[in-house]
Structure 1
């Protein structure tokens, strides 16, 4: 028995969301227990080594670490601004448009006002979650820059590593919220495009999130300071 135009949303939309949520639950499990198989785990491993090396750096090398953290903070701030701008745009559309105007582009599926409101509210929630995640990411990156510049102290390396990793994790969470928003955006054009985009998104993310590179065991050697190198050169 074929479904009518209104009932197809009740089948395809939950199936599409279930595919997305299931994939991310599996990804979370892999990150927690098999991090070497994911890009997130691979990047976090290298970030931990990077922080350890930067805390061994001399004063003249601290600017390198600050420039890297500054670029990450700027990226998080820019995406946070974009997310809140899109949230404002969607809120304006919902408040200022009629049901007929909002559903004018729907290809197939339920065209009632209540369903249309759910579509835009779901999009709005995704963008607000992305905004919150990117703001928290910028917050932790700023905090890590303060810790990184605490020169001459006995600050444990784990404190800075924790701030950098949390900043990166919130960045990843913000991107995931944007991925969900992309799928829900296709729901505006109907449940069939939304379901197909969910399947396509999971396939693409599986390729992007999988890692086959072995985790490198970093070993650092302290480099002599510039003044010491000059003195050695003069003595020779």
Structure 2
């Protein structure tokens, strides 16, 4: 296979690996939510809100502080994403000779397209942070392979595979994790210390 076609094969293949992983994750969240960290967090939030609503006068400040902290975290991450996007724009306007790292071919896709993809990723992260704190992590995980795309298609493909593998362990749970999570939450509620 000619080297110039690696961008057209490995980059879409890497993105396909990440796409398949996210389709599997969505299916698992819908069908078996307790097998994922997202499902356990949803159950915990439900129980936490229920505990807060049982005595709103006592727990009202805690609820407001939690919402404020989420808004502040989202604002910080949105600012980070838009700053990174701006820095990539400055980097893209600089037409100096690019350095070789792992693989670089003059026939590979134009680096401005690569920088545009990275900028779009960070802009999506910015929009997601503006909307909700829940979606920021997935947009930032996708940006790692896009940054590596500057150095060629082989690092992109390797990073997509490694990212999917890492996300699997971050997003799924075991029976031990589920038991510890449930036991920990029940103990905190019985002691009068509520936590999301």
Could you tell me the TM-score, scaled by structure 1's length? 0.71
Q: Does 1:199 align with 2:161?
A: yes
Match of 1:76 in 2: 74
Q: Which moved more, 1:184-193 or 1:16-25?
A: 184-193
Match of 2:90 in 1: 92
Q: Which moved more, 1:49-58 or 1:19-28?
A: 49-58
SS at match of 1:188: helix
Counterpart Cα distance in 1 of 2:36 and 2:145:
22
Q: Does 1:35 align with 2:33?
A: yes
Match of 1:17 in 2: 15
Shift of 1:89: 0.9
Counterpart Cα distance in 1 of 2:19 and 2:89:
25
SS at match of 2:3: coil
SS at match of 2:99: coil
Shift of 1:106: 5.1
Counterpart Cα distance in 2 of 1:181 and 1:25:
18
After superposing on structure 2, the runs of 4+ consecutive aligned residues of structure 1 that deviate more than 3 Å are: 109-114, 214-221
Of the three residues 103, 107, 123, the one matched with 2:118 is 123
Distance of aligned partners of 1:115 and 1:172 in 2 relative to their CA distance in 1, 3 Å threshold: farther
Q: Does 1:59 align with 2:57?
A: yes
Shift of 1:172: 3.4
Shift of 1:41: 0.7
Matches within 5 A, 1:151-230: 171-212=133-174, 213-214=178-179, 216=182
Of the three residues 131, 148, 152, the one matched with 1:136 is 131
The answer (yes or no) to whether the contact 2:7–2:109 under 8 Å persists in 1 is: no
Distance of aligned partners of 1:199 and 1:176 in 2 relative to their CA distance in 1, 3 Å threshold: same
Counterpart Cα distance in 2 of 1:188 and 1:114:
9
1 or 2, which has the higher helix percentage?
Answer: 2
SS at match of 1:185: helix
Match of 2:46 in 1: 48
SS at match of 2:134: helix
The answer (yes or no) to whether the contact 2:4–2:108 under 8 Å persists in 1 is: no
Structure 1: runs of 5 or more not aligned: 138-170, 224-236
Shift of 1:75: 1.0
